[in-house]
Chain A
Amino acid sequence: MAQAQLPLQSPPPQEHTGHAHPEQWSWYHYFLYNTDHKVIGIQYLVTAFFFYLVAGVMALFMRAELATPDPDLLSPDVYNTLLTNHGTLMIFFWIVPAAIGGFGNYLVPLMIGAKDMAFPNLNAIAFWLNPISAVCLGISFLYGGAQAGWTSYPPLSIVTSPNGQSFWILSIALIGTSSILGALNFLVTIYKLKTPDMNWDELPLFCWAMVATSFLALFSTPVLAIGLIMLLFDINFGTGFFRPEMGGDVVVYQHLFWFYSHPAVYLMILPIFGVMSEIISTHARKPIFGYRAIAYSSLAICVVGLFVWVHHMFTSGTPPWMRMFFTISTLIVAVPTGVKIFGWVATLWGGKIRFTSPMLFAVGLLAMFVFGGLSGVTLGAAPFDLHVHDTYYVVAHFHYVLFGGSVFGLYAGIYHWFPKMTGRMYNETLGRIHFVLTFIGTNLTFLPMHSLGMQGMPRRVALYDPQFEFLNKVCTYGSILLGISVLPFLVNMIWSWSQGAPAGRNPWRSLTLEWQTSSPPAIENFDEEPIVWAGPYDYGIDTQSFEPDDPTVAEILAEVGQEMK
C-alpha cells in the first residue's frame, strides 16, 4: 500500500531497504491494479491517448464522407454512430480522463509534496472504471451503437438503436462515477496532504485549477447521472419521463444534460488552464503575471459556469426571460476567461521565451483559444445564436476551444512532463514538426467551418447541400493533415521513452516541487519531506535560495546548456 507507515526522516536513497515495494515499478506494474498515483496518472494518459486515436479515426471516416455532398461512403446510420461515439470518446474517454485523471493524478501529490493521493485505492478503482466503461461502449457497438449524438436528446435516443443507447448510458454512468470519485479525492488530497510549509498562495496554479475542476465535477456530474438513468428507464422499463405521448417532457432532459455538460466543457479546459500557467511561466522564466487573478478566475469560472447551461438551449422550449438571463450570464463568463488570457500574455511579455515543444503548444493554444473564446461570445448572444445554433459554426467554436485549447494543452503537458514521467528527454525536432503540422491542420480543418455554419450548413449531417462542397473539401484536407500530425508524436514518444537522453531531475530548472525529486520520481515521491524554498513561479526572485550546497544544480545547468545547443 502506498500509505504504508514509513519513518518520516527517510534514510538516503541507496539505503531504501525498508520499503514494502520495489525501488521503481517495472513495466508490467502499469498493466495491473496499482495504487501509486504516478502509475495511475500514466495509466490514464496512455489509455486516454489510445481512445483519442480511435476517436480520431472515426473523425477521419466522417470527414471522408463529408468530402462530397452525397452520403456515398458510409450508410447514414453508421455515420450517426461514428458521430455519436467520436464525441463521446473525445470528451469522456480522452480529454476529461487525460487532463483530470492523467495530469491531475500524476502531478497533484508531487506538486503539494505528498506521498500519494488521500485515497489511493479509490483512485485505482476510479481508473479501472474507465476500461470497464469502455467495454460497455464496445458492447453498444454490437447493437449498432448509440446514434443520437453525444447529447442523446430524447425522443430520438429512445426510439433509435435502444440497446446500443442503453449500453452507451451505462458506459457514461460508469465513467461519470469515476470522475466523481476522482473529484472527491483531489479535494481531500489538496486540503489535507499539502505539505505544511506551503502556503495557500504558494499552491501551484495547476492545483488551484484542480480544486475548481473538482468542485464543478462534484456538483454537476450527479445531475447528468440522474438524466441518463431516467433515459435508461424510459428506454427499457416503460417509464415516460421523456416520452411526450405519456406526458413526459423532452426539454427537462436537456436541462439535466446541460446542467452537467456545460460545466463539463470547463472540466475539459480548467486543468488545461493550470497546465498553461505552469508551462508558460517555466519556459519564459518569469513569474506568472497575476497569480491571484488566475487562481480566482478559475473559481469564478466555476461558479458562473454553473449558471449558463441554457445557452445550449436558446432555440429549444425555453421562455424569453430564460434566453435573456442566460445570454447575460454567458457573456459574463467570458470576463474571467479573458483575465487568464491577458495574464498569460503578460507573463510572456518581457520573458525569455524558449521555443521548446511544450511552449510552442502552449502559445499555439493561446492563439487559438482567443479565437474560440471570441466565437463563444457571439454564441452567447441569443439573437445570433438562434441563427447558428446546431450548425457548423458551433462545431467550429468548440473545436477551437477543445482541439485548439484542450488538446494543445494536453500535448504541451505531455512534452513538459515527459522528462519527469520517464526520466528521458523527448526529441525536440520531432516535437516541433508535430506542432507545426497540428497547428496548420487545426486551422485548416476548423476555420472554414465558421463560414459553413453561417451560410446554412447544419451540424450532424451525412449529406449536405452541394453549395457547401468546396469548403468541406478544405476541411477534409485539413483533417488528413491532422491525422498525419500524430505520427511524429507517436514516433517521438515511443522512441524517446526507451532511447531518449537521460533528463535528470529538473531539465527545465522549474521551481515547482515535482521537479525537485528524481525523474521518474521514487515510489513515494520524495526521499525526505520536501522543503518549499521558493514560490512556484519565483523566477528571477531570490535565486540564491537555490540551495547552493545541492550538487545537482550545477549538473542541471550543464545538462540544460547541452540540450539547448
Chain B
Amino acid sequence: MANEKETIPGTLITLVIGITVTAVSIWYGQNNNLLPEQVSQQAPLVDDLFNIMVVIGTALFLVVEGAIVFTLIKFRHRPGDETDSQPVTGNFSLEIFWTAIPAFIVIGLGIYSVQVYNQMGGFDTGGNMAHHGHAPVQVASLPGSNGPLLAQGGDITYGLGANAEMGVRPADLTVDVAGMQYAWIFTYPDSGIISGELHVPIGQDVKLNLEAKDVLHAFWLPQFRIKQDVIPGQQTQLRFVATKTGTYPIVCAELCGSYHGGMRSQIIVHSPEDYQAWLEANTVAQAPGSEQTLATLTDSDRLAAFTHEFGMDHVGPTIAAHTHL
C-alpha cells in the first residue's frame, strides 16, 4: 500500500504479529468467561458458537484496531509539512481480498449457526407430528403459501422443540407455563401441581408450553441459553434437558409493564430422587379437592399466592385489570 520497503524483517514482524494475534484470539475464545454456567444440553452448543465468534472477532478486532493505532502513530502529520500524501486511490486485489475474507467468514458462520440451531431443536424435527398429528408445517412453508407469517396460532408452535435425536418421541415431562404481569405460573398437567417456580428433574426431556395471559413476555433461562417470547394468541414452546442440579433464575425478557424487572422466578433442577420427593409432597399437598381448586381459581387468585414472594403486592390491581383475555 504505502510503498514501505518490504524487507525481510518486515515479513518477519508480520509473521510474529500473525502468530501472536492468532494465539491471543484462540486463548480468549476459550477463556473469556463471559457466559454464565451451562445447565442445559443446548448451552454448550451455543457457547461453542459464541466462542468461535469470539476467536474470529478478537482476531479482527486486534488487527483492525492495531492497524488504526499504528497508522495514527506512524502516519501522523509532522509540523511544517504542508504537502499532501502519496495519492493511493485504491488497490483492486487488496479490496477483493478484504471483501472475500469476511464473506467466507460469514458464510461459514451462517452454516454453523444453522447446524447449531438444528441441534438445539429449532426445527422441531417431528415435534409437530407428535403433538398435532400432521407434518411439520413450518419447515415446509414458504413465504406466500399461507405462510407462517400470517398464521393465527393453532397449528404452529414457535420456539425450540425436539431435535433430531428426540425425533417424534414425546417429552418426558410437559409443563404449561403462563406468563402474566408480573409472574410465571407453572402447571403440571400430569400431576395437577400448580407452582410459581419451575421444578424439573435432571437429565429428562422437558417441554414447556408457553402461553401469555395479557401482554407479550419472554421466557428466558440464562444458564440454559434459551429464550422464547410468550405471545398472546399464539402457541410457543421450549424444550430442553437440564444437565446440572441447582437453582437458576427465570427472567422475563420482554417489556411487559412497570414491574417487568420484577418478573423473575426460579427453575430448580432436582436429582431424580429429589424430584420424586417434590412431586409427591406437592401432589399430596394439593390433592384434596384439587380438581375443584383448579376449576374455580382465577388467574389472579393463583397469582396472588406468588406476588408477595416478589415483594410486589401492590401490583395486584394491574394484574386484575389485564387478565380478562
> A residues near B, CB below 8 A?
71, 75-77, 79-80, 147-149, 153, 155-156, 159-160, 244-245, 247-252, 255, 284-293, 315-324, 327-328, 331-332, 334-335, 338-339, 341-343, 345-346, 348-355, 363, 366-367, 370-371, 374-375, 377-378, 381-384, 386-387, 389-391, 450-451, 454-456, 458-465, 537-541, 543, 557, 560-561, 564-565
Please report the C-alpha to C-alpha distance between residue A266 and residue B8 in the assembled complex, in whole angstroms: 44
**Does B192 reach chain A (CB closer than 8 Å)?**
no
Contact status A377-B90, CB under 8 Å: no
Q: A370-B60, A389-B253 are in contact. List 5 more A-B contacts (CB 8 A).
A: A289-B89, A322-B149, A345-B71, A375-B57, A383-B117
Q: Write 11 A-B pairs (CB below 8 A) sorted by A numbering.
A: A250-B216, A250-B231, A251-B231, A287-B89, A290-B95, A316-B158, A377-B53, A455-B34, A463-B262, A540-B86, A561-B82
Contact status A287-B87, CB under 8 Å: yes
List the B residue with the shortest CB-CB distance to A342: B98
| Given known contacts A155-B215, A286-B88, A386-B46, A332 and B254 CB-to-CB distance under 8 angstroms | no
When distances are taken between beta carbons in the complex, the residues of chain A under 8 Å from B113 are: 324, 327, 331, 381-384
Distance (Å) between the CB of B20 and the closest chain A CB? 19
Distance (Å) between the CB of B230 and the closest chain A CB? 10
When distances are taken between beta carbons in the complex, the residues of chain A under 8 Å from B218 are: 315, 389-390
Please report the C-alpha to C-alpha distance between residue A292 and residue B139 in the assembled complex, in whole angstroms: 40
Contact status A456-B114, CB under 8 Å: no
When distances are taken between beta carbons in the complex, the residues of chain B under 8 Å from A461 are: 260-261
User: Quick one: CB contact mask for B75-106 with A, threshold 8 Å, 1 for yes?
Assistant: 11111011111111111001100110011001
Interface residue SS majority, chain A: helix
Contact status B72-A363, CB under 8 Å: yes
Partner of B227, one of A284, A370, A387, A561: A387
Interface residues in B201-251 (C-beta closer than 8 Å to A): 214-216, 218, 220, 222-223, 225-229, 231-234, 236, 249, 251
Partner of A338, one of B102, B215, B223: B102
Contact status B87-A156, CB under 8 Å: no
Partner of A293, one of B3, B64, B90: B90
Interface residues in B119-158 (C-beta closer than 8 Å to A): 120, 122-124, 138-139, 141-142, 148-152, 156, 158
Contact status B75-A351, CB under 8 Å: yes
| Given known contacts A317-B158, A348-B71, A461-B260, A328 and B110 CB-to-CB distance under 8 angstroms | yes
| Given known contacts A335-B103, A458-B220, A461-B261, A349 and B75 CB-to-CB distance under 8 angstroms | yes
Interface residues in B1-38 (C-beta closer than 8 Å to A): 1-3, 34-36
**Does B278 reach chain A (CB closer than 8 Å)?**
no
Please report the C-alpha to C-alpha distance between residue A79 and residue B236 in the assembled complex, in whole angstroms: 30
When distances are taken between beta carbons in the complex, the residues of chain B under 8 Å from A342 are: 64, 95, 98
When distances are taken between beta carbons in the complex, the residues of chain A under 8 Å from B296 are: none
Please report the C-alpha to C-alpha distance between residue A76 and residue B263 in the assembled complex, in whole angstroms: 13
**Does B45 reach chain A (CB closer than 8 Å)?**
yes
**Does B189 reach chain A (CB closer than 8 Å)?**
no
> B residues near A, CB below 8 A?
1-3, 34-36, 45-46, 49-50, 53, 57, 60-61, 64-65, 67-68, 71-72, 75-79, 81-91, 94-95, 98-99, 102-103, 106-107, 109-110, 113-114, 116-117, 120, 122-124, 138-139, 141-142, 148-152, 156, 158, 160, 214-216, 218, 220, 222-223, 225-229, 231-234, 236, 249, 251-262, 264, 321-322, 325
Contact status B50-A378, CB under 8 Å: yes
Contact status A324-B68, CB under 8 Å: no
Please report the C-alpha to C-alpha distance between residue A152 and residue B79 in the assembled complex, in whole angstroms: 54
List the A residue with the shortest CB-CB distance to B43: A387
Distance (Å) between the CB of A501 and the closest chain B CB? 19
Distance (Å) between the CB of B199 and the closest chain A CB? 20
Contact status A381-B53, CB under 8 Å: yes
List the B residue with the shortest CB-CB distance to A389: B227
Partner of A455, one of B36, B57, B85, B225: B36
Q: Which 7 A-B pairs have the closest CB atoms?
A: A244-B233, A461-B261, A350-B2, A540-B84, A456-B222, A319-B138, A540-B87
Partner of B252, one of A159, A381, A458: A458
Please report the C-alpha to C-alpha distance between residue A389 and residue B228 in the assembled complex, in whole angstroms: 10
List the A residue with the shortest CB-CB distance to B99: A339
| Given known contacts A290-B95, A378-B57, A383-B122, A456 and B36 CB-to-CB distance under 8 angstroms | yes
| Given known contacts A317-B234, A456-B251, A463-B262, A350 and B85 CB-to-CB distance under 8 angstroms | yes
Distance (Å) between the CB of B179 and the closest chain A CB? 12
Contact status B95-A317, CB under 8 Å: no
When distances are taken between beta carbons in the complex, the residues of chain B under 8 Å from A541 are: 87, 89
List the B residue with the shortest CB-CB distance to A339: B99
Contact status B90-A383, CB under 8 Å: no
Partner of A80, one of B102, B124, B160, B255: B255
Contact status B258-A76, CB under 8 Å: yes
Distance (Å) between the CB of A287 and the closest chain B CB? 5
Please report the C-alpha to C-alpha distance between residue A322 and residue B158 in the assembled complex, in whole angstroms: 11
Please report the C-alpha to C-alpha distance between residue A80 and residue B256 in the assembled complex, in whole angstroms: 10
